[in-house]
Structure 1
């Protein structure tokens, strides 16, 4: 088997354009997903039962259905409700909703595992449940939850490839366009693997650096 190096050379800058779009989507979806997931995780630990049930139902639905179906629901469902968004924002919303559910479970499990005596001590000085979660338990949980959150962000980056089904011109979609016009699947898919591996390697390194610099409570 011979590799067409001319195609590889031609594809590198084209895939780089798709990489920029992938990073934009992953950054936005990651920010929304992490913020929403932390909020949902704390709500699931609160004292208001209906809210906990709603969060539980949301998390169960997201974890129990394929992401591809969720993307289609957002992409085709939002216009029916009067929200006409382009492929880019539909993809960001779908990935954000998916990421938030998994982050919520990480937060619920990690924050809920903090030593119960601290909650009792905080209550003894008059702190409300919300303040205890936000100011006492959450800060102590950030470092322990970093590996799981990193895994969720890495999964999010890889999941951006599914947005090619709604014609978002991200990394995988740009590779598919090259394959369709030049019929060189091996070279392009190998390049795609290299690009994704490079992105994930950088994310993993950044996560390790942040984790080492976080204070140990």
Structure 2
């Protein structure tokens, strides 16, 4: 029998799990955008050594599953003496994984910017770095917001993968409740509802931001 009342004793744990999920998502999102810009700029404008290094990191990040990357960071690096706490493994792993996808989005956006803007900025005395920082990158971020928003919507759901590292995020908190009550459907139903609500809030926030940026064009 479906009994939602069984969740009442575990609401604090679920709420804490939701907060951990949101914290991991927000930190990973920042990493994914900043690293994504760095990857895109490095590939397009960096010296040969930097381009090769970025591509060497970019390809496996896109070509292998996120779950495998989390295992490699957490368990693989520990075998060579590099021990990263589970929560930072999740944050770095998710952030870099989605940075690779964001990099492709930013790279496309940068290439579509009129070259006349670069020439105009340089004629005003801007250095190459200043042109990228103040002219090219801000426009690329604005123009790519829609696609980056889709990546962020996918990211928040993939935060659930960190439960395999023992991090008490939303799914792991539910699993602890299930082990005590033997009521999996109720807990997974609650987790699904919370994720749906988080997704809706995130989507509305991103769409509102996108509309504001459109009005500023």
Q: Same fold (TM over 0.5)?
A: yes
Q: In the alignment, which residue of structure 1 is the partner of 2:102?
A: 103
Q: In the alignment, which residue of structure 1 is the partner of 2:29?
A: 30
TM-score (structure 1 length as normaliser): 0.90
92-101 vs 120-129, greater mean Cα deviation: 120-129
Structure 1: 5+ residue stretches without partners: none
How far, CA to CA, are the matches of 1:43 and 1:130 in structure 2? 12
TM-score (structure 2 length as normaliser): 0.90
Q: In the alignment, which residue of structure 1 is the partner of 2:155?
A: 156
Q: In the alignment, which residue of structure 1 is the partner of 2:182?
A: 183
Q: In the alignment, which residue of structure 2 is the partner of 1:206?
A: 205
Q: In the alignment, which residue of structure 1 is the partner of 2:58?
A: 59
**Segments of 4+ moved more than 6 angstroms:** none
8 Å Cα contact 2:74/2:83 also seen in 1: no
Q: In the alignment, which residue of structure 1 is the partner of 2:117?
A: 118
Structure 2: 5+ residue stretches without partners: none
Q: Matches of residues 75-154 of structure 1 in structure 2 within 5 Å? A: 75-125=74-124, 127-154=126-153
Q: Post-superposition shift, 1:169?
A: 0.7
Q: Post-superposition shift, 1:41?
A: 1.5
Q: In the alignment, which residue of structure 2 is the partner of 1:20?
A: 19
8 Å Cα contact 1:18/1:169 also seen in 2: yes
